[in-house]
Amino acid sequence: MIDIKLIRENPELVKENIKKKFQDEKLVLVDEVKDLDEKFRLSKTRADELRAKRNHDSKEIGLLMKEKKIAEAQALKETIKKINDEIADLEVKEEELQKEIRNRMMVIPNIIDSSVPIGKDDSENVVLEEYGVKKEKNFEIPYHTEIMERLNGIDLDSARKTSGNGFYYLLGDIARLHSAVLTYARDFMIDRGFTYVIPPYMIRSDVVNGVMSFSEMENMMYKIEGEDLYLIGTSEHSMIGRFIDTIIDEDKLPLTLTSYSPCFRKEVGAHGIEERGVYRIHQFEKQEMIVVCKPEESMAWYDKLWHNSVDFFLSLDIPVRTIECCSGDLADLKVKSCDVEAWSPRQKKYFEVCSCSNLGDAQARRLQIRVNGKDGKYFAHTLNDTVVAPPRMLIAFLENNLNEDGTVNIPVALRPYMGGKERIG
């Protein structure tokens, strides 16, 4: 959610930003907010004037009563009664106007950074850089579930019986590999100065509305029936929600946190062979990075976060590249975002494994996360990035570390977490 001062003082900038995101249907919202805000301020000014008059007349009544001017005092009491009625009406009107303004402000997209490339959708995202060496495989690489099945590492059929499509049982060395990657990711981020956190896996609706758009919530999140609770789609939601309605001392910033959680999502792709297996699923686990910082530091932290993801994957012998998300591909709360994509030797292409986002003060403004600075209070900036999200990440891991005999190499960094094993199979 943007600062309403932008709409008051520079509505054309807000409209131009909407156009850059190819959401022209939202242009009317800027004028509607501007009009509603003017009505709200007029109503508030009138109410303040009436309160001042009420205070003045109340003092007058006291003086008139002392002077035994009962009739005049009674007349002023009648005036005050009418003032109170009008103030009550104005307060109801102000509440309604504030609600209408907020409903529209929640839909108007955040102002994107000037460095974001302009494009309609993800087809116009920009490749930034490739990292690591792509290993040539002189043998055919099976589909990832076939690799797992040959290692007795996955049972999809039983999961369909117990839970339906989009679920899985991981077994044996594959299950151990899954846990090892997460544990290694935890330690990797702790070694980089991040504080490890295990957050709640359910959050209330006011937190959901603070960290994401309504459309994202509807498409992603599972609601607990009969309760004001949602299963988290990513730990970012509960991690940022932790600071709702708080004032953080400036000298405590930045807050650099890394969180583990299971994640639950409604969406499961059903198109094409690459949507099968464990690429799109209802349930998975993830290690995340979260930063709460000063506004002037958020872009530097943005660069640090995605570099952490790149370094993590390279340490596991997985080549990656970075992709800059264009304006039309940015979620409405985001200022700037990039994806880290892993190389798939089987497909001969990259696929997304991490997403890094700078949300500016959008989440902080919605959740009232403020900083107590030397020159007064201000809204913090929030950022998030994926460290790793198996089992999707296991696709890249298995393909890049697969040997012709069906065994899978364990990179040096991961061996302490796999009981010292150099390979599985």
* Residue 193 in tokens: 């100065």
Listed residues 105, 134, 152: the one ending a domain: 105
Domain for residue 113, yes or no?
A: no
Task: Indicate whether 297 and 232 sit together in one domain.
Answer: yes
Task: Indicate whether 147 and 292 sit together in one domain.
Answer: yes
Task: Indicate whether 19 and 91 sit together in one domain.
Answer: yes
Domain for residue 150, yes or no?
A: yes
Domain for residue 111, yes or no?
A: no
Task: Indicate whether 99 and 153 sit together in one domain.
Answer: no
* CATH code of the domain covering residue 399: 3.30.930.10
Task: Indicate whether 65 and 211 sit together in one domain.
Answer: no
Task: Indicate whether 314 and 367 sit together in one domain.
Answer: yes
Task: Indicate whether 179 and 271 sit together in one domain.
Answer: yes
pLDDT, position 339: 97
pLDDT, position 360: 97
Residue 220: HSE in the Cβ half-sphere, 13 Å Cα cutoff: 17
C-alpha–C-alpha distance, residues 47 and 52, integer Å = 9
Listed residues 75, 105, 135: the one ending a domain: 105
* Residue 261 in tokens: 């959680």
Domain for residue 110, yes or no?
A: no
* CATH code of the domain covering residue 48: 1.10.287.40
Domain for residue 172, yes or no?
A: yes
Task: Indicate whether 244 and 390 sit together in one domain.
Answer: yes
Domain for residue 115, yes or no?
A: no
* Residue 199 in tokens: 């957050």
Which among 177, 413, 404, 243 has a CA at the least distance from the CA of 316? 413
Task: Indicate whether 231 and 367 sit together in one domain.
Answer: yes
Task: Indicate whether 99 and 126 sit together in one domain.
Answer: no
Query: N- to C-terminal Cα distance for the chain?
Result: 51
Host domain of residue 42: 4-105
Under 8 Å between Cβ of 288 and 234: yes
Domain for residue 351, yes or no?
A: yes
Task: Indicate whether 153 and 51 sit together in one domain.
Answer: no
Q: Mind listing the pLDDT tens digit of every residue in the chain (425 residues)?
A: 899 999 999 999 999 999 999 999 999 999 999 999 999 999 999 999 999 999 998 888 888 888 888 888 888 899 999 999 999 999 999 999 999 999 999 999 999 999 999 999 999 999 999 999 998 889 999 999 999 999 999 999 999 899 988 899 999 999 999 999 999 999 999 999 999 999 999 999 999 989 987 667 777 889 999 999 999 999 999 999 999 999 999 999 999 999 999 999 886 444 443 446 788 888 999 999 999 999 999 999 999 999 999 999 999 999 999 999 999 999 999 999 999 999 999 999 999 999 999 999 999 999 999 999 999 999 999 999 999 999 889 999 999 999 999 999 999 999 999 999 999 99
Task: Indicate whether 98 and 130 sit together in one domain.
Answer: no
C-alpha–C-alpha distance, residues 386 and 289, integer Å = 6
Strands (E) located in 140-194: 154-155, 169-170
Domain for residue 130, yes or no?
A: yes
| Dihedral Cα 341, 170, 288, 344, nearest 10 deg | -10
Listed residues 105, 139, 170: the one ending a domain: 105
Backbone torsions φ then ψ of 24, nearest 5 degrees: -55, -25
Number of structural domains in the chain: 2
C-alpha–C-alpha distance, residues 328 and 120, integer Å = 4
Q: How many helices and strands in the chain, by DSSP H and E?
A: 13, 17
